[in-house]
Amino acid sequence: MDTKILLSALQEVEKRAERVSEDDVLATYVNVESLTSALGARDNGIIFGRRGTGKTHALKYVAQTEREKGNRVVYIDMEQDVGSTEGRYADPNLSISERATRLVVDVLSIVHTQLLEAAFAGNIKVQIDVLDRMLDHFQEVLVAQETEQEDTRSDRSAQRSKTDAGVAWTPGGMPSLSVAAGSTRETAREDGVRTRQKGVIRHRIHFGGVTQSMRQAIAADDAKRFWLLIDEWSGVPLDLQPYLAEMLRRLFFGIPKVSVRIAAIPHRSEWRIAGERGDYIGAEVGAELFPLLDLDEFVVFPARSREEQTQRSLSFFRALLFRHISTAVIGMGQEPPESEADLIGSLFTQVTSLQEVIRAAEGVPRDALSIVGRAGLRAGGSKIAVAHVREAASQLYTTTKATQLNGMPVARALLDRILSDVISGRKARAFLIKQDQAQDALIQQLVDDRILHIIKRGWSDKDNPGLRYDVLQIDYGCYVHLLGTNAAPQSLLGGDNDHDEFSAVVGDVEVPNEDYRAIRRAILELPTMLADIAASAKNPRVVD
């Protein structure tokens, strides 16, 4: 295969699944059996994953395959199809009742529109007046606020009396007595209604007749299954997400032929609001809505051994590049490569170049495609070498990931402290953090921006069984400029016996159990770091 054609095709590869045409969704999707089985399950469920791990591509794959089977599919992108998230739904001048009502009605309107189009096309055998009644009932959908009211009444009355007496002398010298008396009375009454709030204001969603009309329309559809796919769930404001989950639960979860799929970022999702008497608004994860798949875990390929881990990651990313580049080559009017081996041999100088791509991508498919595309530009018409990959990864980090911290000085200061402590201090590239501290907003922001990567959750050592840690790895782009120097990280956790077995592997690594000195040194104390950062901000050093 001509290397120059492949390098040109790299620039044609779509990095974002929402831009991939329907015809190319199946062609570019890496069909792994375990992943496909989870996506096709009948349960209503969630697909978790960071940005770039393939949530949108997975939902679009489900949409295409199910449509080909003759099933009904309603796909909703919450950031593109439902108006302005930052405007209509996040406006602080509007009450949460009004914002939630608008959101729920807008989502229902999209479902109604697609059902109506299918009915006009003859694909749903339902009377149009049923759908019309559903539209009429939309005005009954209301998120109502419940408060306590009490009547207040007060009466005020007052009475005053006054008597004046005096003596005056007439011009003739005779005395004159004068007496004056008077009284006043004031009466006032105040009536009013005062609202007294106890605890948290409770909301309820009233659906009117929408439920019955929706069930009638779905039941009249000849399709065996009705799929409701909701992408970019985390684009909805957190305080409104439970109300949307409540609508899904009330209207769709109880219909046997309906399967709901939601793509969401774990720490940017809120599923229910608990009430004071055990009731709640939203959906209960694990009982009504099931976490079907975590792409963060899937793309790092948990395996029984290092060899199996290496093979899985290599196999996946070979297939990812082959499918995307072949589709782009065909779009250019050229003959695609004959096989994965043909592609890899024509594109890279050696297999270590591909391994470096896998290492640099940290298990994120979108980052892998971006790095290969940038490396292709640096190759200048020749095959991609390790040096090209490292330059591309460094630029990707500098121009995209690092700039996301602009305007977030505390997050940037925390990252600098982590890099100094872990990479410079311990010559390591990973660290342990207590699970409760891993939920800190700053840590989650760095994970969301793909600057830190969770490679193992809930680890504990036998000496401290009550403590649970998450293992986080620092992004390749943070230290790629140090590779080949004495300052480069030498191991995973920086231990004396911690051999760098995972240097070219993307995986759910096992923390070495035999080197407890390394483990103790690798624990990051977040509260101490944040306290030091706060103290430094109050007392900055003066540089002469």
The answer to whether residues 35 and 58 touch, using CB atoms and an 8 Å cutoff, is yes
- Write out the two tokens for 129: 């007046």
* Of the candidate ranges 63-67, 99-103, 374-378, the one whose mean pLDDT is the lowest: 99-103
Q: What pLDDT, on a 0 to 100 scale, did the predictor assign at position 149?
A: 47
Q: For residue range 119-162, what is the model confidence (pLDDT) as tens digits?
A: 787 777 766 777 777 777 777 777 776 545 455 555 555 555 55
514 pLDDT exceeds 60?
Answer: no
Q: What residue type is 115 in one-letter code?
A: L
- Domain residue ranges in the chain: 3-10+300-402, 31-146+202-298, 408-538
CB-based contacts of 486: which residues, under 8 Å, 6+ apart? none
Q: What pLDDT, on a 0 to 100 scale, did the predictor assign at position 347?
A: 93
Secondary structure letter of residue 17 according to DSSP: G
pTM of the predicted structure, to 2 decimals:
0.76
- Which residues are paired to 294 by β-bridges? 48
Q: How far apart are CA 47 and CA 411, in angstroms?
A: 27
Q: What pLDDT, on a 0 to 100 scale, did the predictor assign at position 112?
A: 86
Q: For residue range 170-188, what is the model confidence (pLDDT) as tens digits?
A: 556 565 555 555 555 555 5
Q: How far apart are CA 455 and CA 429, in angstroms?
A: 12
DSSP H or E stretch at residue 434? strand 430-434
Confidence grade of residue 46 (pLDDT, cut at 50, 70, 90) = very high
Q: What pLDDT, on a 0 to 100 scale, did the predictor assign at position 505?
A: 35
513 pLDDT exceeds 90?
Answer: no
Q: How far apart are CA 21 and CA 42, in angstroms?
A: 26
CB-based contacts of 245: which residues, under 8 Å, 6+ apart? 271, 272, 282, 283, 289
410 pLDDT exceeds 60?
Answer: yes
Name the fold adopted by 31-146+202-298: Rossmann fold (3.40.50)
Instruction: Say if strands 290-294 and 45-48 run parallel, antiparallel, or are unpaired.
Output: parallel
